[in-house]
Each structure stands twice: as C-alpha cells, then as structure tokens.
Chains A and B, each alone.
Chain A
C-alpha cells in the first residue's frame, strides 16, 4: 500500500545551496502534511507542517510547498548547512496514525 512515495533515496547538495526534497501521495483524504527529520541513532523529529488550505509554509530556512492538485509536497532548505545532513520523511496524519514515506537521505557537503 504505497500511499506515499519519496522517489529520491538520496540527495547531495553543496553547503549554502538549496536542497529540495520531494514527496508524492495518492490518498486525497490527506489533509495535513508534515516533514520529519531523523539523525542516526535518534528518533524522527518534527520539522515543519502545512495544512491543505495553504500552499506554502515557511519556518526560517525551511519552506514546505503543497500542490494539492498534483498531490505533491516539497521541502526547500535554503541555505543548506552541513548540520542538515539527515534522513527526511514526509508524513501524513491519517486516523490516529502517521503514514510515512520511505525517506530521503540528504548530505550537505562543506
């Protein structure tokens, strides 16, 4: 049941540049959208969210864009920093659970 797809398993970006992580979903019932970040040996940490009534939400260097008609979510990190190197998951609250994508490994090179 692949409701969520993060098609890029990994992404490598130079420090200071923009990182763009993408996520596609199929379930039109999803109404709220999240990004989580995960460092090795730690649990996922909530990063940023967006409601379906918006198409953009900004929090410092992180911006999430939502294209509901395309069922596409993206996370922009500008400027990227080495400390941003982590696994990024898109996630969707559905009932009482979160449905996660498989994750994208981001490496920011200094």
Chain B
C-alpha cells in the first residue's frame, strides 16, 4: 500500500460525458502528479500540482483539467469524453517534487472506459 488513494477504481461512461477522478496523496506529500496509461502505451505524464498550484504540464488535452485543493487532494476532470480517452489514470505523490532523486508513490489507478 503506497498510501496514495484514488477513487473510483472503475468508471464506465459514454462519449461526450464528463467525469471527475479523485486522488488523495500520502500524508505529508505536497506534490501530486497525474499520468495516463493507454493500451500499448507506457505511462504518460499529464500534469503536476504542488501545494495547490500547477507546477508542470505534460501531454494533457485541453478537454482535461486538474486542481489541487487546500487539503492537498487532487481532482482530474475529463470532459467531452471520446473513445480514445479510455485508459488507466494514475495519481502519484511525492514530498516536494522537482528533485531527481525524490520517489513518486503511485495510487492503484482509475480504469476509465468510454463507450
């Protein structure tokens, strides 16, 4: 158990819909990261938040957005969903973020299926 929790575990929805994925980081961690793992792809970095503020952006679509709240939990919002958005979405956390040697701890992921 990494200490990072994600809800829901599974989500099935239809094209055009909007969903929210939730992540609670490990106790004491200030940075939260979101990654997407599509079929046949490695994990792709989407976005990082540090203490409530966006710190780094990766391959995140404009239809996707995220935020980190004062209690440090984070939400990833996916809208106008397409079939290709079906993937595993992982949240990770680390103490500060930005240090090469700082370990990122991953949650169990949310499996999203868009029909």
Residues of A within 8 Å of B, CB-based: how many?
A: 23
Complex Cα distance, B100 from A31, in Å, reads: 8
A89 touches B100 (CB 8 A): no
Complex Cα distance, B88 from A42, in Å, reads: 11
Name the one of A41, A46, A100 contacting B42, with C-beta atoms under 8 angstroms.
A100
B103 touches A98 (CB 8 A): no
B42 touches A4 (CB 8 A): yes
**What chain A residues lie within 8 Å of B58 (beta carbons)?**
97
Complex Cα distance, B40 from A103, in Å, reads: 9
In terms of DSSP, what is the predominant structure of the interface of chain A?
strand
> From residue A54, how far is it (CB to closest CB) to chain B in Å?
13
B48 touches A96 (CB 8 A): yes
A102 touches B100 (CB 8 A): no
**What chain A residues lie within 8 Å of B41 (beta carbons)?**
102
Residues of B within 8 Å of A, CB-based: how many?
A: 28
B103 touches A46 (CB 8 A): yes
> From residue A64, how far is it (CB to closest CB) to chain B in Å?
14
Task: Write the chain A residue with the least CB distance to B111.
Answer: A41
Name the one of A42, A43, A51 contacting B92, with C-beta atoms under 8 angstroms.
A43
> Can you list 18 A-B contacts with CB-CB less than 8 angstroms, sorted by A residue number?
A31-B100, A32-B100, A32-B101, A43-B92, A43-B106, A43-B108, A44-B90, A44-B106, A89-B43, A93-B101, A96-B33, A96-B97, A97-B56, A97-B58, A98-B104, A100-B42, A100-B43, A102-B40
Chain B residues close to A by CB (< 8 Å): 2, 4, 31, 33, 35, 40-45, 48, 55-56, 58, 90, 92, 97-98, 100-101, 103-109
Supplied contacts A51-B101, A97-B33, 16 more A-B pairs, CB within 8 Å: A4-B42, A42-B108, A43-B2, A43-B92, A44-B90, A93-B100, A95-B56, A96-B56, A96-B98, A97-B45, A97-B48, A98-B45, A100-B35, A100-B42, A102-B40, A102-B41
